[in-house]
Amino acid sequence: MTVLAQQCGASGRMPTLFWNHGGGPMPLLGDRSQASLTQYLKGVAARLPKPTAILAVSAHWEAEKVMVSTCPAPPMLFDYYGFPPETYQFKYPAPGDPALAQRVLGLLGSAGIAAGADASRGYDHGTFVPLMLAYPEARVPVVQMSVLRSMDPGAHLAIGRALAPLRDEGVLIVGSGMTFHNMGAASNPARQPNTNAFDSWLTAACTEAVGSKRAELLTGWAKAPGGRESHPREEHFIPLLVAAGAAGEEPGRVDYSDWVMGTKISGFVFGTAP
């Protein structure tokens, strides 16, 4: 039984995921440096029960308060630059889910977390690139959610905790970012930090601790070995905290780990194993 299938458990509760979405549209272009990530994303759906919907927490949407997409038919948002013309013609026609969006807003509001609706937001590449690979039929409804511009770790863990009931409603909560995101260093081997150090620390924090201990570790990520070097700005790390927060006391496991563009990255699944 695969890790993801195990994490679903006998109760039908969905796991939560953090996946790496890759560099711009490159996973969709057959880029050799991201081949293993592309293959991983292509296999996700086959290892999971079909979700009723997906809540995608994107590193590429920041706001002063949590924003939730309510559009029933989200357009495409090509928020990358300098790629081949065909990458601006991609389509991902998965429907939105206004009812789920309202449920998300209700859960956040009940937890005292400020949130708002966005009726026009399109799928950005942090959402559509991995979903085009994982769910290419585009039949599963998708609601996109922002991260907070404050990047407050505790606040994002709390957001995840507030949204945990969605897991019992068949909703797959996915944090989409990168566990390494220092593009200046990635493009210059002479400047690359030791990404193994942060990856090892993060793997231990996500898989060897649960609940308040895991939250404590992840809140202090910037002081971890290689933490700030891996994330000069942490918007690509923060979606992981929502996925971890929604898991509560349940364990995490490594679901993907490899070298991409010369840097070590890992993805995680959180949930209850039978």
* Weakly modelled stretches of the chain, pLDDT under 50: 1-11, 273-274
Q: How many helices (H) and strands (E) does the chain have?
A: 10, 8
Task: Determine the pLDDT at residue 24.
Answer: 95
Tell which residue, 140, 229, 152, has the closest CA to residue 191. 229
Task: Determine the pLDDT at residue 191.
Answer: 56
Distance between CA atoms of 51 and 153, rounded to whole angstroms?
Answer: 27
Task: Determine the pLDDT at residue 47.
Answer: 86
Tell which residue, 225, 274, 273, has the closest CA to residue 252. 273
Distance between CA atoms of 269 and 193, rounded to whole angstroms?
Answer: 26
Task: Determine the pLDDT at residue 195.
Answer: 83
Task: Determine the pLDDT at residue 5.
Answer: 43
Tell which residue, 132, 141, 24, has the closest CA to residue 78. 24
Residue type, 249: E
Task: Determine the pLDDT at residue 274.
Answer: 32
Say if CB 21 and CB 27 are below 8 A apart: yes
Distance between CA atoms of 145 and 262, rounded to whole angstroms?
Answer: 30
**Residue 120 neighbours by CB distance under 10 Å:** 10
The pTM for the full model equals 0.93
CA dihedral 255, 258, 260, 262 (to 10 degrees): 150
Task: Determine the pLDDT at residue 2.
Answer: 39
Task: Determine the pLDDT at residue 3.
Answer: 45
